[in-house]
A = this chain, B = another copy of it.
Amino acid sequence: MIMGRKPNTEQRRGQIVEALRAEMAEIGYERASIKSIAARAGLAPGLLHYHFPSKEAILLELVEALICQADNRYEELASPQATPVELLGTFVKARVGLGGKPEDEQVRTWVNLMAEAVNQDVVKERVAAWLSGSLEELAANFRAANVKHPEAKAAMLVSMILGAFQLHALSVEGVPRGYAAEEIGGWLRQVCATG
């Protein structure tokens, strides 16, 4: 009976995707080469094309992983019996709440991912679809809270988060620490209160 090797494909794919993520946080997608990704993953360069058909394919899997991660973070924080307004606050917390050093890297990863999405159609489609879904859900919550222009509010909320990430990644002086969570929260309360 032939036993063969226990397939470790999933582990390898994870390693590779994680290595790309780290590279993207540091230098961006274009500057990351198969060789540098392999080096970071501790693998031979040739192996990357055994597990993935192309560099783009690794990126697409990374997109899935990041989206999944983000969705999970939200779902973990969201209690089933929460009100729409509470859910909106939870969304903000799930996106900008963490703080600390590792977040820097996460932010850079996301910013570089978005940058790539703007120019690479396959990525753009996937990210846009995901964001579209988020917008819909957010809009539904705003609507349930009787907020006017719920779609616009949802778009604004997402814009605030995206923009805060970018400003953070640019290391601009004069930006108060933790301003985003605070201010977005304030905006949210005001918007939901006023209607």
Q: Which residues of A contact B (CB under 8 A)?
A: 4, 27-28, 30-31, 44, 108, 111-112, 114-115, 117-119, 124, 127-128, 131-132, 135-136, 139, 149, 151-156, 158-164, 166-167, 169-176, 179-180, 182-184, 187, 190, 194
Contacts and interface: CB of A to CB of B under 8 A. Distances in A.
Kindly report how many copies of this chain are found in the complex they form together: 4
A179 B163 contact: no
A131 B170 contact: yes
Contacts of A111: 115, 118
Contact of A135 (B118, B153, B174, B194): B174
Among A124, A161, A172, A173, chain B packs the most CB atoms within 10 A around the CB of A172
A166 B159 contact: yes
A161 B112 CA distance: 18
Contact of A124 (B115, B136, B171): B171
